[in-house]
Chains A and B, each alone.
Chain A
């Protein structure tokens, strides 16, 4: 998450057409809040109803990252965190 945060800090400065959402599964809200507060994350932490969203996206392993294009279609996805691929797609 610190790596994603550092990428987000950079993206957020330059782009207003990009949104990062960190979709949690299974943790209590206060656990998430505590980590966010302690580490000063500005990323958006999101919760879901059970595993409804994870299931809709077929997520079995964590972390998994998806990029959804402006057209609402899946542009890229991968298990793990591949910052190079995300940067490449964002052109940064």
Chain B
């Protein structure tokens, strides 16, 4: 669950180059030597038809964010687990992701065994067998139905030519002989390293309101590229509600992904009725004149 949350949050970092600054990056900085070096190093990955990855995924969280006694801006990073990861990904958007291991979240041990299939920019979690080993989880079950592979895609396999604000890193002792890049936004920072033309590691730090909240460190032990593949053979299992890939694509792919079913910005919000914890009815219309945040959630 932290894994999926981490990935979901990470998407924010990588969405920007696709939108308003994409053209800007393409045209204005075309001759930037850092961009040229990045594009050149990643060219084999852009040209490949499929990618196979084995590695480890370390997850660190800001435990102070879960400590009600800590200051609102306190940061205390703690490693909660190292998971074994296998990614198989074929262009344009077929893939599967397996993540296995143990997470120890502030003393609550949890087994993670995730298998998923990917579509477009997203990965749909199919089997999420996260078992409680040591008592109830302090946050309850939080499972995101979707994770985003955009972080991988933009670095090693992506459509994004150059991330916003790309800078070259100077190799320190820990990264001797490697090529490194970094980019950041107010939502976090990404650092990636390549050795002998092969992605070696990737560090993703995510901030919320300026505060560091999560860090993921991916170490790649095996990276392989394939030239010609039957992309559909890379599909994991289909989600239960779908019998064919076309059905799934029709619903989630071209129509704009996971946001597609939501009401469009600018439309009149429906006048719905809600019940508060004192059994009082509240209609949305009665709140006109105020800004209302509706957070849809569940515990179990």
Binding site for B on A (CB under 8 A): 1-4, 6-7, 17-27, 29, 31-33, 35-36, 39-40, 43-49, 52-54, 56-84, 86-87, 89-90
Contacts and interface: CB of A to CB of B under 8 A. Distances in A.
B276 A46 contact: yes
B174 interface: no
B274 interface: yes
B253 interface: no
Interface string B263-300: 11111111011111100001011011111111111111
B135 interface: no
A31 B136 CA distance: 13
B290 A21 contact: no
A74 to B, nearest CB: 5
Report, as a range, how many residues of chain B touch the other chain: 35 or more
B55 interface: no
A58 B300 contact: no
Contacts of B273: 49, 53
Interface stretch (B101-109, B139-147, B175-183, B226-234): B139-147
Given A6-B72, A31-B299, A84 B208 contact: yes
B244 interface: no
Contacts of A78: 259
A68 B270 CA distance: 10
B296 A57 contact: yes
Interface string B63-97: 00110100010000000000000000000000000
13 contacts: A2-B65, A6-B72, A18-B291, A20-B293, A21-B282, A21-B293, A31-B299, A57-B263, A62-B145, A68-B292, A72-B269, A76-B265, A78-B259
Nearest to A70: B289
Most buried by A among B267, B269, B284: B269
Contact of A40 (B68, B145, B276, B282): B68
B264 A32 contact: no
Interface in B233-269: 258-259, 261-269
